[in-house]
């Protein structure tokens, strides 16, 4: 399963680890993903992975 938000489509970003001597090695900045249950129109529930930012937005708008 991909580390991707089901609503916004955001995924991991890439960057560098930088040591004290300024040596750079590649790294990944992962999303803060949460698994939540949502209720669909027909009454069934489904689990989706969404980012914490989208979870805050959903709570704000509901």
CATH number at residue 45: 2.30.170.40
40 assigned to some structural domain:
yes
Instruction: Flag whether the pTM goes above 0.75.
Output: yes
Tally the domains of the chain: 1
Residue 44, pLDDT > 90, answer yes
- Give the H or E element holding residue 56: helix 52-61
22 assigned to some structural domain:
yes
Distances (CA, A) of 33 to 21, 39, 43: 33, 19, 24
Domain that holds residue 35: 13-61
pLDDT (mean) for 26-30: 97
pLDDT (mean) for 36-48: 94
Residue 1, pLDDT > 80, answer no
Q: Would you state the pLDDT for residue 62? A: 79
Residue 30, pLDDT > 70, answer yes
Distances (CA, A) of 56 to 6, 33, 50, 51: 14, 12, 10, 9
């Amino acid at each position: 399963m991909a580390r991707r938000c089901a609503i916004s489509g955001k995924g991991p970003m890439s960057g560098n680890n930088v040591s004290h001597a300024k040596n750079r090695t590649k790294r990944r900045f992962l999303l803060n993903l949460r698994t939540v249950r949502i209720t669909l129109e027909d009454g069934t529930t489904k689990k989706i992975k969404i980012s914490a930012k989208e979870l805050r937005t959903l709570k704000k708008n509901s």
